[in-house]
A and B are shown apart, each in its own frame.
Chain A
């Protein structure tokens, strides 16, 4: 039982770390602010969801084993943190992209820009 749970936790942590690492590589590889936002904010959210999932699995397993309330608190707080992270991350990315666009950083390699046409 514990080995299965440990393996599940390890897999979740590994997926989370791989996606967070890909986000960092994306910052270095992509050409302009918008494509970097894609790599940075989104892949890191996905990675962090999996790290949170690992914590939830650990907390629920410990709750079933010991029956102490603190592990339930741990799991619920982690879920709330992941939800808050997802919402603030999306809003923050939106705000950065909008601010960048209004400051005049147009998407540099771009096949189409409907927003420039709409604003004229």
Chain B
């Protein structure tokens, strides 16, 4: 029952976002609201086993979504901008020193590993190639391995970003 309700609410909110600005009741038209509720119930009936597969309802807390939004706009975007300038410099000059390093974020949940892997991949200059399924270590291809870093067996996640500690933020969101 709880997965059904959560999926229905999630689908309805998504439908509201997609149809914002359609009418005069607030910013939605009455027809869209009725249709949205109807479709959300159908979607929830079909997809309730997919969204909450392992029966943890941690992400139903709106505070975690707020932290996710802050994380995406402040630390993540700043890292991304800085790393983009770095990659632009390397595209122009061609000074690269590529290599695959192993990092040890110490995250426990699948969602946390997904968020960290996606953050690392979206930050230019670092690209997640693989995940060690047992220890949740990530294999990251870096376009410029710092001299000396290739000798260590595992790197800390803070060593591949410039200013912010991504795993600490992600632990706040997903664990």
Contact = CB atoms under 8 A, between A and B. Distances in A.
A35 B87 CA distance: 10
Interface string B111-132: 0000001110111110111101
A107 B100 contact: yes
Nearest to B17: A76
Given A26-B91, A69-B21, A110-B99, A42 B122 contact: yes
Most buried by A among B22, B27, B127: B127
Nearest to A108: B98
A22 to B, nearest CB: 5
Main DSSP-derived SS at the B contact region? mixed
A32 B102 CA distance: 20
Most buried by A among B80, B81, B84: B84
Interface in A60-115: 69-73, 76-77, 80, 86-87, 89-91, 93-94, 97-98, 101, 107, 109-115
Contacts of A32: 98
A90 B98 contact: no
Contact of A110 (B22, B23, B91, B98): B98
A73 B22 contact: yes
A86 B132 contact: no
A107 B101 CA distance: 12
Contacts of B23: 69
A58 interface: no
Contacts of B58: none
B20 interface: yes
Interface stretch (B37-45, B138-146, B159-167): B138-146
B94 A97 contact: no
A1 interface: no
Given A112-B150, A115-B139, A86 B122 contact: yes
B102 A118 contact: yes
Contact of B21 (A35, A76, A111): A76
Contacts of A41: 121
Nearest to A32: B98
Interface string B16-55: 0111111100010000000000000000000000000000
Interface of A: 19, 22, 25-26, 29-32, 34-35, 37-39, 41-43, 45-46, 69-73, 76-77, 80, 86-87, 89-91, 93-94, 97-98, 101, 107, 109-116, 118
